[in-house]
Structure 1
């Protein structure tokens, strides 16, 4: 700052007090912790008028007539030796070097465990096995030298031995857990916890582990957990081997999953044509949603509409519930959208009986904002898909964006995406990359966690990883709903997945190779990995992965393209990881 460089400083920095006390009138920008977007306007003005700002800053600094202390001139700062204890420095250096050597040693310890003879023994066993089963007409393909080179280059040896060692540990652990007492409730809880840990860490003997988890959860009267694991067993096996389906269907209905019960029976019921039943369900779901029953007339207890136009380029739809704490930051971020500055953006809130003062926060912001906004509140709790349907009906935009208050987009995001839809009339949905960021309770950045990197996007990949097509950093045409219906309001957790699978065969999507969306991972953030979501996935996701689902999605596909997709399912990258995944199960 004193060198004449414009600065922006976080409001929590202690140096602010020093500047205000000792360097009065020196201009600088404060980044408010409670509203980081408040600094964007002064920073923008600074950049647009940089030379003028810097001249003014230097004049203010010169007016202070600062002088370095006589006893410690500035030119000696970098020449003055430190007065710290050199012995302590040496000790710390030795400790660091030792730690570094230990780290290097640990990185190679696994390979040192495997001596050369064990390598050759294992390779010899594999080659012998292949020799017994190989086709004589393909001798050249299996020449020992070629296979050995491939075997070692791809690190198969280390991976194989690693899994052998893991298996040994698994057998010991599973015996220990199996022998744990079930004398009382606390013992059963402890045993169930151990099975959960084993199930999360190992992929061996999953069926037996899941059977034990389902049994113990049922003892503890946690029927949702037992239901989830019974369904997992049936799903993985592909049929009702242990005759649990009747009980599963009863428990599904008991918890209000009537449609999931119907799907489970169609997928795994005996003595019925499963493929025909599943295809009927898929086709009926498609037809039923073409004429949604949405009551938007008389049931709003609050309806605040500040729009002045009948048409907007983009509508942002937001479902609100317990959002008061995060709403100010969200609203400030939307205010930075370039489409808002061009008066081409509207913002629609649908509050579903939030117990917090969401509406008061909205009104406070609205007093100082020109964003065209609608605030609609209903008196009862509804699903997010139901709230989205209301927002769609209230919207006047040509293109739709859906966000939560813990999700953000960069200022130019909607303009970039809308331009793509403008330029390509055959594209229905555009999707950019997005990043997941850990923030504090104020929404202030702490660290980046992961990226949804959709590089290499093809529409068919959505059938392998549903996250390849999302809502954050995305935009789609409103007329999708005129053509294919609205969201299914009966879903409580997996309605977005069902919607994509339902309409995907009939629309065209495109990837934009830019990072334009942000997920804010607040301390109180909740995961969607719940029993509720997994049970609903039965009809939102797994029904679409049956033979009937294949026919529903790919009946108009070229056979060669379809074969390529099935091959891809054995070896592909999910959007949120770097490693290769497989759907071999």
Structure 2
């Protein structure tokens, strides 16, 4: 077996026997060929993944490595396990139910090779509602179009999709791994921290299929409350890290930008933002609640506590209204206004 690869794809499997053959066949058909290392991490699954990998793939493909744990691990524990043994210059996660265009990894890796300062890349995907549908046979699904990477926009929401690729040096040089305290928002937390060290760029092409289970069994939809709570937690921490790193001049610049957003009437703001999302139009418009929270943190950093408190009252109809209300009470309790 080779000692080094161009790309390592990490496959975590738990109760995904019905997807595993299709996933591995899809990866083996990638145009980068034997320059792709595939690490399968079986997190104690009670289904037949072990026999599938050991009998049907390991004897015939020396680019596949296999690990099985006795106890069930979270997906982020499994990905970290794969990352620590990866030998690729670039790393990606390969969800068992998603599929790729045959040259997807080649396109993503080429971009990273051409731009050595870039830490991670992503692309658009089609939505598939059919189990094990391959890219060449896809029909009729919508395109999950994503805007180009913008640091502030990414602080407001995760939009890299399920098939990003990043440099292995992210782990070796900066010690960034997936936080194992999260069940669903670990992707977001990982790339928020990566973005503090590297630019992230979009490859402007449709390179994959994202399987959206009609029964709502995708992980992020199984427990909406937990997803929302974890997302808010990692976003809030990242916002404060970002603001803390700004110079006074940058604070004034971004604070002015948040004030311009807040001048848009609240319901009009929601209408424009939601229309863009419903039409599948990539929008650089920031969500109202996010604008008000970031504006409040920036104003506090600038020493204008009265403005920081006013921002907290600017998104009464937002999903973040409770978060803003708690922040307002915190600011008032400090007795600085």
- Which TM-score applies when normalising by structure 2? 0.71
Other-structure match for 1:537? 231
Residue 357 in structure 1 maps to residue 61 in structure 2: no
Any unmatched runs of 5+ in structure 2?
A: 263-268, 289-314, 316-337
Other-structure match for 1:578? 281
CA–CA separation in structure 1 for the residues paired with 2:2 and 2:257: 46
Other-structure match for 1:486? 177
Residue 460 in structure 1 maps to residue 115 in structure 2: no
**Could you tell me how far 1:434 is from its partner in structure 2?**
1.3
Number of aligned residue pairs: give it: 271
Which of the residues 232, 236, 243 maps onto 1:551? 243
Three-state SS of the structure 1 residue aligned to 2:47 is coil
Counterpart mapping for 1:265-414 below 5 A: 308-340=1-33, 343-366=34-57, 369-370=60-61, 372-414=63-105
CA–CA separation in structure 2 for the residues paired with 1:378 and 1:362: 14
Partner deviation per Cα, 1:342-389 (whole Å, 9 max, x = no partner): x21100011111010101111233167435011101111111111111
Counterpart mapping for 1:11-410 below 5 A: 308-340=1-33, 343-366=34-57, 369-370=60-61, 372-410=63-101
CA–CA separation in structure 1 for the residues paired with 2:125 and 2:238: 26
Other-structure match for 2:295? none
Equivalent residues of 1:350, 1:377 under 8 A apart: yes
Other-structure match for 2:329? none
Three-state SS of the structure 1 residue aligned to 2:178 is coil
Three-state SS of the structure 1 residue aligned to 2:18 is coil
Larger Rg: 1
Three-state SS of the structure 1 residue aligned to 2:153 is helix
In terms of fraction of residues, the more helix-rich structure is 1
**Could you tell me how far 1:517 is from its partner in structure 2?**
1.8
**Could you tell me how far 1:478 is from its partner in structure 2?**
0.7
Partner deviation per Cα, 1:100-148 (whole Å, 9 max, x = no partner): xxxxxxxxxxxxxxxxxxxxxxxxxxxxxxxxxxxxxxxxxxxxxxxxx
Partner deviation per Cα, 1:219-251 (whole Å, 9 max, x = no partner): xxxxxxxxxxxxxxxxxxxxxxxxxxxxxxxxx
Superposition CA RMSD, Å:
2.9
Partner deviation per Cα, 1:500-530 (whole Å, 9 max, x = no partner): 2233222211111111121123455514132
**Could you tell me how far 1:568 is from its partner in structure 2?**
6.3
Equivalent residues of 2:162, 2:210 under 8 A apart: no
CA–CA separation in structure 2 for the residues paired with 1:399 and 1:382: 24
CA distance 1:434–1:493, shift in 2 (3 Å): same
Any unmatched runs of 5+ in structure 1?
A: 1-307
CA distance 1:470–1:498, shift in 2 (3 Å): same
Residue 426 in structure 1 maps to residue 120 in structure 2: no
CA–CA separation in structure 1 for the residues paired with 2:18 and 2:248: 48
Other-structure match for 1:48? none
Residue 477 in structure 1 maps to residue 167 in structure 2: yes
CA distance 1:446–1:346, shift in 2 (3 Å): closer
CA–CA separation in structure 2 for the residues paired with 1:448 and 1:519: 13
CA distance 1:447–1:557, shift in 2 (3 Å): farther
**Could you tell me how far 1:450 is from its partner in structure 2?**
3.0
CA distance 1:486–1:394, shift in 2 (3 Å): same
CA distance 1:348–1:480, shift in 2 (3 Å): same
CA–CA separation in structure 2 for the residues paired with 1:524 and 1:443: 17
**Could you tell me how far 1:406 is from its partner in structure 2?**
0.8
CA distance 1:536–1:522, shift in 2 (3 Å): closer
**Could you tell me how far 1:541 is from its partner in structure 2?**
2.2
Equivalent residues of 1:317, 1:391 under 8 A apart: yes
CA distance 1:346–1:513, shift in 2 (3 Å): same
CA–CA separation in structure 2 for the residues paired with 1:565 and 1:439: 43
- Bigger shift: residues 552-561 or 408-417: 552-561
CA distance 1:582–1:503, shift in 2 (3 Å): closer
